[in-house]
Amino acid sequence: TDPLTGALNRRGFEKFMLQEGERIRRYNAADSLLVLIDLDSFKYINDTYGHAAGDACLKHVSQYLMSYARISDGVARLGGDEFVLLMTQMPVEKSASRIYDLCLALNDMHIDWNGQRILFTASIGIEHMRGDSDCMTVMERADRKLFEDKKSKKAQSLARLNFPEIM
């Protein structure tokens, strides 16, 4: 487990994900859903409020994800400000409302820190894991979707400020 957040660490998550892939294949079980999460502007939080505030944000996200997850799901902090949630037995047709609620919550987070409210959001990449899925490929696809979400948010922010997009 990750000592700061209490979630699985990268190694623990990789083991969990491999076991889930095997369960899907062995029992022809329902798909699972991988949700990759990266906090937006986390460096700004650390630089502005200090690393203790950043740690409090990480703990807050982890606690939220662990309370959101079902007992069969896996939550991990992969490192830095990157988290992952693997929702087991979550076929496409059942996932839309759960993901919508999760995305809303992850993009409206805050902590109260030394009399100040620190607001933060997250970029998200989502990919279904099926019986024929390779775990590494599922992670790579979710990572590409996360990057696109982050890039889209950056472009929207620059447009609101009337800056040309710099990429």
Q: Annotated catalytic sites, by residue?
A: 81
CB 40 within 8 A of CB 83: no
Nearest CA-CA partner of 36 in 56, 71, 1, 61: 61
Element (H, E) at 165: none
Helix (H, G, I), strand (E, B) or coil at 6: coil
For the chain, give me the number of helices (H) and strands (E)? 5, 6
Compute the distance between CA of residue 79 and CA of residue 5 in angstroms, rounded to an integer: 11
Which ranges of 4-134 would DSSP assign to H, the alpha helix?
10-27, 42-49, 51-68, 92-106
Q: What angle do CA 16, 23, 77 make, to 5 degrees?
A: 15
Structure tokens at 9: 């660490």
Structure tokens at 42: 């986390």
